[in-house]
Amino acid sequence: MDANAQPDGEALHRLVARAAEQQPDAPAVIDETGTTSYGELDRMADRFAAAFTARGVRAGDRVVLWAAKSAHVVAAMQGALRIGALYVPVAPSNPVARLLRIARSCAPALVVTDDRGRGLAASAPWPDEGEGAVPAPVTAAVLLAEGALLPAPPAHRNAPDDPAYILYTSGSTGEPKGVCISHRNALAFVRWAARSTALTPADRLANHAPFNFDLSVYDLYGAFLAGASVRLVPADLAYAPDRLVDLVRDEGITVWYSVPSIILLMMREGGWLAKPPTLRVCVYAGEPFPVQQAKELRAAWPGVRMFNWYGPTETNVCTAYEVTDADLDRTGPLPIGTACSGDTVLLEGVDEEGTGEIVVSGPTVMLGYWGRSPHEGPYRTGDLGRYDAHGEIDYAGRRDHMVKVRGHRIELGEIEAALGSLDSIAEAVVVVRGTGLEARLHAVVVGRDGRRPSLLDVKRHCAQRLPAYMVVNSLDVIEEFPRTANGKTDRAALQALPHLV
């Protein structure tokens, strides 16, 4: 199957159905229980669609999926799409209280879980009656059994701009925000990504990200578009670098996609630099990759294509840059590249230093946040960028990481990028300690290969790259950064560490 081929209509659920028609015995999803073929996945999706319909789920309704990653959950996603419903993945690491906040936001017709989720729900007060009621969870196994006794409903004929799924992210008010993505939004990215990475049926992708994280969209739907297979990485392996590297080697993974923090962990503790024999593509996104480590990886893997993809959940991937041997001489950060996925990406409000806000328009821009007015016009990312000499966009940090220290406006991401180019530093985060005239820049770093950079080393390095007012004042070296559920550096937790207060 050709990843450049156009699926029938603008519908995510047509990808699996088409692959099942053309190659029913080919592997589709591999999880801890074994391999599910495209024909089996197609039949499971129909069983879920039948069970959902019998339980009253209709087009436009929401189905929450609160369960560990498995072929059954992937089939449930497909089953929801086949009847025109939206699926809402919620990682099983979310406690019942947060699940209920998400459920009250999207008002699902059904909550699907597994045995673990059923046990958690049973042990907590569950609001299944009255105001704020949420449907009691039902396990995927029960639904599959119900669907086996029912005829499959006809596939829903959706419009391209119909919503397909909702991904909940953290909200600045403390309440999760539901990013609503249409079939057109997702497919514009997936088609571009499959072409960019030249996916074929022979590929086996690794799905490291949880299903509620937008990185998983490429893993799943890129595989389905190409007729390739996807290996679901269970949560208990997500932060085990040696076991992750073993999985890639032992299971013939050809395409890896994750946040840089995970790749850095695999480089430091998993032997990732000894290239897995089948790996041909490595993609990272979600946060900056320290340039020294990126160059080290590039040099170690001459035959592997490496990509830096950028985009918030609200746009998925909207710019891309391929890391090549030409970058081995680079001293500054790697760029996030140029517009992709059919999008237009501009810098607005550019200041005297050439820095402006990254603004995205085009087919990948979300429908809006669930429960709010539809999004209209370009999406303002809140991220800052500037053009380099080659017309590529350099990421310059977040607007909300912009601080003022002793009267100077400072973007912390720029200091972090400078620190990341020091060969004794694997990762770096800069925070502000104190307020007013007492405000100081404090760096928290993880040493590379067990090294512990000194404050003098760090100051000297910063002084060579930054104005004097951006040179850090103090330093902490720690063993490992705290991580969010998506594997990114948890800045809030880092700021709350006792020695930083």
Convert the pLDDT of each residue in 412-429 to its tens digit.
Answer: 887 888 898 898 999 899
Sequence-distant (≥ 6) Cβ neighbours of residue 480 within 8 angstroms:
446
C-alpha to C-alpha distance for 318 and 310, rounded to whole angstroms: 6
Averaged pLDDT for residues 204-230 = 97
Cβ-contact 204, 255 below 8 angstroms: yes
**Euclidean distance between CA atoms 309 and 256, whole angstroms:** 13
At 475, which amino acid appears?
A: L
Average pLDDT over residues 73-89: 98
Mean pLDDT within 99-110? 95
Element (DSSP H or E) covering residue 432: strand 425-433
- Copy the structure tokens of residue 169: 């992210």
- How far apart are alpha carbons 403 and 410 in whole angstroms? 5
pLDDT higher than 70, residue 4? no
Answer whether residue 332 shows pLDDT above 80: yes
| pLDDT (average), residues 232-237 | 95
Contact 196, 266 (CB under 8 A): no
pLDDT band at 435 (very low <50, low <70, confident <90, very high): low
Estimate to the nearest angstrom the gap between the alpha carbon of 235 and the chain centroid: 14
- 176 vs 105, residue with greater confidence: 105
* pLDDT attached to residue 407: 52
Q: Which of 97-111, 429-443, 471-485 has the lowest mean pLDDT?
A: 429-443
Distance separating alpha carbons of residues 13 and 157, to the nearest angstrom: 10
SS3 27: strand
* CA-closest candidate to residue 30, choices 285, 229, 275, 196: 229
The mean per-residue pLDDT over the stretch 264-276 comes to: 94
Which element (helix H / strand E) includes 249?
helix 241-250
**What are the residues whose beta carbons fall under 8 Å from the beta carbon of 366, sequence distance 6 or more?**
179, 180, 181, 182, 185, 313, 314, 315, 375, 379
Does residue 449 register a pLDDT over 90?
no
The per-residue pLDDT for 6 is 41
Give the sign of the dihedral formed by CA 48, CA 57, CA 175, CA 122: negative
Q: What is the pLDDT of residue 1?
A: 43
Other Cβ atoms closer than 10 A to 204? 18
**pLDDT at 443 > cutoff 70:** yes
Please give the residue that has the higher pLDDT: either 319 or 398.
Answer: 319
What is the rounded average pLDDT of the residues 23-41? 98
Q: Does domain 399-500 have CATH number 3.20.20.140?
A: no
Mean pLDDT check: name the lowest of 185-199, 313-327, 331-345, 468-482: 468-482
Residue 334, pLDDT > 50, answer yes
Name the band, by pLDDT with cuts 50, 70 and 90, for residue 321. Answer: very high
pLDDT per position as a tens digit, 248-260: 999 999 999 998 8
Element of type H or E holding 268: helix 260-269
Mean pLDDT across 332-354 = 95
Per-residue pLDDT band for 401 (boundaries 50, 70, 90) equals low
pLDDT over 90 at 390, yes or no: yes
The pTM (predicted TM-score) of the whole model is 0.84
Provide the CB-side half-sphere exposure for 464 (13 A, CA).
Answer: 12
Confidence of residue 313 (pLDDT cuts 50, 70, 90): very high
What tokens does 434 get? 């104190």
Q: Across residues 119-139, what is the average pLDDT?
A: 91
pLDDT (average), residues 375-379 = 97
Q: Domain map of the chain by residue range?
A: 399-500
- In this predicted structure, the answer to whether residue 265 has a pLDDT above a threshold of 70 is yes
- Can you spell out the DSSP letters for 103-137? HHHH--SEEEE-HHHHHHHHTS----SSTT--PPP
User: What pLDDT is recorded for position 164?
Assistant: 98
